[in-house]
Structure formats: C-alpha cells, structure tokens
Amino acid sequence: MSDQKNRIAVIETDKGTIKFELYEDMAPITTGNFIELADRKFYDGLNFHRVEPGFVIQGGCPRGNGTGSSDKKIPLEVTPNLKHGEAGAVAMARSTDPNSASCQFYITLGPAAFLDGNYAVFGRVTEGLDVVKQIRVGDRISSVAIASA
C-alpha cells in the first residue's frame, strides 16, 4: 500500500449511512470510475435492486432492475491483495464479460471468496455494516459523496 490516504465513499440511504474506504492505491481504475460517477451525482436517487440474504446487496443501476449501465465500461481490475473476505467488501458487478463493469456495485453480506479474482473489489465498509444488512430491494440511495480520509 502507498502512503496516500484513500478517500471514503459516503452513501446516504433510506436506512442510514454507509461509509467505505476506496482502495485508490490498489484499484485506481475502478475507484476512479466510482468517484467520477459519484461526483456527477449519477447514483443519487437510484435504488438497491438486488438483495441476496447472506450474500450481497447490489445497487447503482440507472434502470433499477440490474440491466442498466453508465456511458462507459471499465476493464476488470483485480489484485491478490483485494479479496472479498468477510461481510463488507465493495466490488463492481458486471455481466459475463470480465471487462463489462460500469456503474453497478455490490456489498457483501458474508464470506464470498469464490468471487475473488473474478470481480473487482475496490473498497471495504468502515462504518454502517448494520445499515448494509438492513437494506431491502427498492431502498434508495439518496446520495453518494466522496470525503477525505
């Protein structure tokens, strides 16, 4: 890891606030894309369209159903240092094409090591994991902001 302080994403939801560290030092393409979308207010007002108990919550789809994307796709960015581990990993969702991640992201609700190396982990929840676990399908993302560490 570098000496650079990674920034924090702050997601305001119907259920409360979720904060996660952005691994800008190890996933610069993926975090850069997320930060750009957050700065454009892309996520504001979107919902969580997928909740798989014990597995993940997923949001960031402009269509609200898992089929939408932003105007840009990013390459799969994985590193052995970034693993799904326990609950709270933040990663990009994608289609079967490894280089199809765009705007949808997920947060794990439990261990998901089988996803390692196939999906780009780019952050980890530092506050609000209790909020993550309360999210249900249809809950809204009021806003996403990027804050200094």
Q: What is the pLDDT of residue 5?
A: 86
CATH number of 8-147: 2.40.100.10
**Residue 131 neighbours by CB under 8 Å, 6+ apart:** 13, 15, 16, 17, 18
Report the C-alpha gap between 20 and 18 in whole angstroms: 7
The helix or strand, by DSSP H or E, that contains position 12, with its residue range, turns out to be strand 8-13
Residue 2 confidence (pLDDT): 45
Residue of 145, 124, 131, 120 lying closest to 27 (CA atoms): 120
Report pLDDT digits (tens) over 49-65.
Answer: 999 999 999 999 999 99
Q: How confident is the model at residue 3, as a pLDDT?
A: 52
The C-alpha atoms of residue 92 and residue 50 are separated, in whole angstroms, by 13
| Run means of pLDDT, 10 residues per run, the chain, 149 residues | 77 97 97 98 98 97 95 95 96 96 98 97 98 98 95
- The domain spans of the chain are 8-147
Q: What is the pLDDT of residue 71?
A: 87
